[in-house]
């Protein structure tokens, strides 16, 4: 009881911020990141301790409960250490950019070496050739199925514990502690066990794959400081072609007649329909999330390598990472120019057009679907902005030419420039919040849907530091360019005094609060695709609803188990699609609007998300470092 009380008090009372100079904040951020990297492999004994992999930085899997004080306690208390590639790749990328383009402290080479080596354990092992096809979790060999299965060891062990869990005892204890309604939540969690356990056995993805290529491009630029890391990355990635080959093979092609590549998650189709409607006769090809198709998912299911819901999707954030990986790979010659053939150029252009469209149109008012796995739109903004930044840098520092090496790249640059300067920037400025002490910050949603015991609302702003850092990184990448001979960032023409002032005040906020005790350093850098009942695939129009064995599913009863597919195949003309929106699916009308990530109509709803303190710190460090390098 008293422990809970302490948690609650520390959650509810704001402690004044500690002032510090920007340089001292940078060096303290850098220290925190240093301390968080695992220096060795260590086994765990869930739920008392967790296994840690050498070279990786900390990530926690949490559940986004919201609402009553007990829910906030649970959100804080539930935390499972996770070993994945994504967070470490991003933290390393931020560390590299911190010194490549900023004045911040240099990360010691051993840390980068160790991270790159750890990332080397995430190459797909189900191919018998060297490849750069990456997985989110490490794979472990399963002798029964003779496949390497994606294995989040801590999460799996926890689920196995649930089998022998004294559920009843825990529920009774919760009642004694006055955690009303918690029994239902626990029961719900246990019920979802099979779904979770299957959701872990995922195939490789284009996200991790292109983030790895983007990291390689940065390492090539930073090779003077990190020669060993660059060498190691090259050894691990001697077959970059494999990633491009996979992209051509698995791209989502709505106009194709091949059901393997023309079928997509009905939630993707729903948010994307205005884009598809405008461009459906252009033979579109788009970067999907998973490196697998529906046929392989059905075969792979028995082997424990299968996409969730057996169908691919298009996530705008994954798409942004793929475009960055391709752009940086080509500009730094990690990807050979001859590889960038007509089909890849089509995928590159079409995917960038989709990104620009979604950024300009408010993610079709459905960020829960468009940002399928990434609830932070601010993170998505930065992922797009860094591609533009790369192109601007190339043009400024290359005397010989005033164009990018491929015409299609120039087209993409214009599209990104338009959306980031004319749509995203004004929208960001509008959403900024003034603390009336000269500082500015931005909020997303974590901890912002709670109520106190007297039913008054409380904003805990648990992702405010991360969100503000990502906004600053976005604005700096859009509105400045790095001059290689001056080693400085320079403002681009068109910077308004308001923008200049906003960045300055946001940096002041980060300097004062990023290390203080007032706000959590949490983020939602990744999540499950379902954010609540309304984002489950069943309710969205689909034209392929079948069991793995090909038997059609009775469309009035939600199928049991996990061995089924719900997708939309091919292009469905507007008129037909709109008619599908007028009828219920599995008895429910399609949810047409977004209730927010803390849905007030689902007080016991929750979704899993991934948070990494070090990622927040490294994104903040990069923002401060670049800011202090802008020539005023």
Ligand X SMILES: *[C@@H]1O[C@H](CO)[C@@H](O)[C@H](O)[C@H]1NC(C)=O
The CA-CA-CA angle for residues 49, 54, 56, to 5°, reads 90
With beta carbons less than 8 A apart as the criterion, state whether 124 and 85 touch.
no
Work out whether 279 is an interface residue with ligand X (CB under 6 A): yes
The residue among 231 and 303 lying less far from ligand X, judged by its C-beta, is 303
Q: How far is the CB of 376 from ligand X (least distance, A)?
A: 13
Which has the closest alpha carbon to 132: 122, 146, 140?
A: 122
To which H or E segment does residue 631 belong? strand 630-631
CA distance linking residue 451 with residue 449, whole number of Å: 7
Question: Would you count residue 245 as binding ligand X (CB under 6 A)?
Answer: yes
Q: How far are the Cα atoms of 1, 4, 156, 588 from residue 179, in angstroms, in the given order?
A: 10, 10, 26, 32
Q: Which is nearer to ligand X, 93 or 311 (CB)?
A: 311
Interface stretch with ligand X, choices 104-112, 167-175, 258-266, 484-492 (CB under 6 A): 484-492
Q: Is 143 exposed, middle or buried (0-12, 13-18, 19+ CB in 10 A)?
A: exposed
For the beta carbon of residue 484, count every other beta carbon within 10 angstroms.
12
For residue 548, the SS3 value is coil
Cα separation of 281 and 283, whole Å? 6
Q: Which is nearer to ligand X, 32 or 123 (CB)?
A: 123
Q: Which helix (H) or strand (E) holds 472?
A: helix 464-479
Q: Which of 165, 177, 406, 491 binds ligand X (CB under 6 A)?
A: 491
Contact segment (CB under 6 A) with ligand X among 104-112, 117-125, 185-193, 483-491 equals: 483-491
In the complex, what is the shortest distance from the CB of residue 35 to ligand X, in angstroms, rounded to a whole number? 33
Binding residue (CB under 6 A) for ligand X from 30, 236, 353, 523: 353
Q: Which of 160, 397, 578, 601 binds ligand X (CB under 6 A)?
A: 397
User: Cβ of residue 393: shortest distance to ligand X, in angstroms?
Assistant: 11
Cβ closer to ligand X: 21 or 556? 556
Query: Binding residue for ligand X (CB under 6 A) from 500, 518, 543, 628?
Result: 500
Residue 537: which of 549, 528, 548 has the closest Cα? 528
Q: Which of residues 542-561 bind ligand X (CB under 6 A)?
A: 547, 549, 551, 554, 556-557
Name which of 369, 309, 331 is nearest 534 in CA terms.
369
Query: Per rule CB under 6 A, is residue 401 in the interface with ligand X?
Result: no
**Applying CB under 6 A, which of residues 51, 84, 92, 242 lies at the interface with ligand X?**
242
CB atoms closer than 10 angstroms to residue 54: 16
Pattern of binders to ligand X over 98-137, x per CB under 6 A?
A: ------------------------------xxxx------
Alpha carbon 321 to chain centroid, angstroms: 9
Structure tokens given for 179:
């955690």
**Shortest separation between residue 498's beta carbon and ligand X, angstroms:** 9
Please state, in angstroms and rounded to a whole number, the distance separating the CA atoms of residues 294 and 308: 11
CA distances in angstroms from 491 to 94, 330, 483, 496, listed in the order given: 21, 26, 10, 10
Smaller CB distance to ligand X: residue 40 or 402? 402
User: How many angstroms separate the Cα of 278 from the Cα of each of 266, 413, 574, 575?
Assistant: 18, 21, 10, 14
- Asked, as a colleague might, if the bond just before 47 is cis with ω within 30 of 0, I would say yes
Distance in Å, CB of 500 to ligand X, minimum = 4
Is residue 317 a contact partner of residue 379, using CB atoms and an 8 Å limit? yes
For residue 436, the tally of other CB atoms under 10 A from its CB is: 6
Binding mask 363-382 for ligand X (x = CB under 6 A): --x-x---------------
Q: Using CB under 6 A, which residues numbered 155 to 194 contact ligand X? A: none
The footprint of ligand X on this chain (CB under 6 A) covers a number of residues equal to 44
Which position among 62, 346, 464, 585 is part of the footprint of ligand X (CB under 6 A)? Answer: 346
Task: Please name which of 135, 117, 119 lies closest in space to residue 127, comparing C-alpha atoms.
Answer: 135
* Closest C-alpha among 567, 557, 588 to residue 309: 567
Binding segment (CB under 6 A) for ligand X, from list 172-180, 240-248, 261-269, 470-478: 240-248
CB of 407 to ligand X, least distance (A): 10
Tell me how far, at minimum, the Cβ of 514 lies from ligand X, in Å. 21
Which residues, numbered 560-589, are part of the site for ligand X (CB under 6 A)?
A: 563
Residue closest to ligand X when measured from CB atoms: 304
Nearer to ligand X, 506 or 515 (CB): 506
Tokens of 538: 């069943």
Stretch that binds ligand X, among 168-176, 241-249, 517-525, 578-586 (CB under 6 A): 241-249
| Least CB distance to ligand X at residue 542 (A) | 16
How many CB atoms neighbour CB 176 within 10 A? 9
Q: Which is nearer to ligand X, 88 or 124 (CB)?
A: 124
Per CB under 6 A, does 493 bind ligand X? no
Name the one range near ligand X by CB under 6 A: 98-106, 497-505, 521-529, 578-586. 497-505
Minimal distance, residue 346 CB to ligand X, in Å: 4
Q: DSSP letters along 257-318, please?
A: S-HHHHEE-HHHHHHHHHHHHHHGGG---B--SBS--HHHHHHHHTTT---GGG-----HHH
Q: In terms of CB distance, is 109 or 600 closer to ligand X?
A: 600
Scan for tokens 């989502």, then name that residue: 252
Nearest distance from C-beta of residue 215 to ligand X, angstroms: 19
**Is 431 an interacting residue with respect to ligand X (CB under 6 A)?**
no
Q: Which residues bind ligand X (CB under 6 A)?
A: 128-131, 142, 144-145, 239, 241-242, 245, 279, 282, 284, 304, 345-346, 349-350, 353, 362, 365, 367, 396-397, 399, 455, 483, 485-486, 491, 495, 497, 500, 504, 547, 549, 551, 554, 556-557, 563, 594, 632
């Amino acid at each position: 009881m008293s422990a809970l009380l302490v948690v609650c008090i520390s959650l509810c009372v704001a402690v004044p911020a500690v002032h510090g100079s920007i340089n001292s904040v940078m060096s303290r951020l850098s220290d925190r990141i240093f301390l968080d990297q695992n220096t060795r492999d260590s086994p765990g004994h869930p739920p008392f301790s967790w296994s840690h992999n050498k070279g990786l930085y900390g990530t926690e899997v949490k559940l986004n409960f919201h609402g009553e004080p007990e829910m906030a306690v649970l959100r804080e208390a539930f935390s499972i250490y996770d070993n994945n590639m994504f967070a470490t790749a991003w933290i390393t990328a931020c560390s590299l950019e911190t010194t490549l383009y900023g004045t911040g402290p240099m990360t010691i080479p051993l840390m980068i070496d160790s991270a790159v080596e750890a990332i080397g354990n995430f190459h797909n092992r189900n191919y018998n050739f060297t490849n750069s096809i990456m997985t989110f979790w490490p794979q472990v060999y399963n002798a029964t199925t003779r496949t390497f299965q994606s294995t989040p060891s801590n999460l799996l062990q926890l689920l196995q514990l649930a089998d022998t869990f004294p559920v009843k005892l825990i529920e009774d204890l919760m009642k004694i502690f006055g955690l009303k309604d918690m029994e239902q939540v626990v029961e719900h969690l246990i019920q979802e066990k099979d779904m979770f356990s299957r959701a872990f056995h995922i195939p490789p993805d284009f996200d991790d794959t292109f983030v790895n290529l983007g990291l390689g491009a940065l390492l090539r630029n930073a090779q003077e400081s990190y020669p060993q890391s660059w060498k190691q990355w090259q050894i691990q990635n001697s077959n970059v072609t494999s990633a491009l080959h996979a992209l051509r093979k698995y791209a989502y092609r709505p106009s194709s007649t091949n059901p393997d590549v023309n079928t997509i998650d009905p939630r993707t189709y729903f948010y994307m329909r205005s884009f598809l409607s405008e461009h459906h006769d252009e033979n579109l090809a788009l970067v999907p999330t998973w490196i697998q198709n529906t046929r392989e998912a059905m075969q792979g299911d028995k082997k424990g390598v299968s996409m969730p819901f057996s169908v691919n999707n298009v996530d705008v954030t994954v798409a942004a990472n793929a475009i960055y990986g391709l752009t940086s790979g080509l500009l730094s010659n990690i990807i050979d120019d001859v590889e960038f053939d007509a089909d890849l150029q089509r995928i590159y252009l079409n995917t960038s057009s989709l990104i620009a469209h979604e950024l300009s149109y408010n993610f079709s008012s459905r960020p829960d679907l468009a940002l399928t796995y990434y609830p932070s739109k601010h993170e998505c903004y930065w992922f797009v902005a860094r591609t533009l930044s790369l192109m601007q840098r190339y043009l400024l520092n290359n005397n010989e030419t005033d164009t990018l090496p491929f015409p299609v790249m120039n087209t993409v640059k214009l599209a990104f420039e338009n959306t980031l300067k004319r749509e995203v920037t004004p929208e960001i400025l509008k959403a900024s919040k003034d603390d009336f002490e000269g500082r500015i910050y931005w909020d997303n949603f974590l901890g912002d849907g709670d109520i106190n015991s007297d039913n008054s609302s409380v904003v805990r702003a648990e992702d405010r530091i991360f969100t503000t850092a990502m906004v600053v990184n976005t604005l700096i990448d859009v509105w400045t360019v790095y001059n290689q001979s001056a080693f400085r960032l320079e403002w681009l023409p068109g910077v308004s005094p308001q923008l200049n002032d906003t960045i300055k005040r946001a940096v002041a906020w980060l300097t004062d609060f990023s290390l203080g005790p007032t706000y959590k350093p949490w983020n939602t850098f990744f999540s499950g695709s379902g954010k609540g009942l309304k984002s489950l695939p069943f309710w969205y129009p689909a034209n392929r609803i079948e069991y793995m064995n090909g038997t059609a599913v009775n469309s009035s009863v939600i199928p049991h188990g996990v061995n089924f597919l719900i997708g939309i195949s091919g292009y469905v003309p507007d008129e037909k699609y709109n008619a599908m929106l007028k009828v219920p699916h599995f008895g429910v009308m399609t949810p047409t609007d977004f209730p927010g990530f803390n849905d007030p109509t689902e007080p016991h709803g929750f979704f899993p998300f991934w948070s990494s303190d070090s990622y927040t710190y490294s994104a903040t460090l990069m923002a401060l470092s670049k800011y202090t390098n802008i020539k005023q």
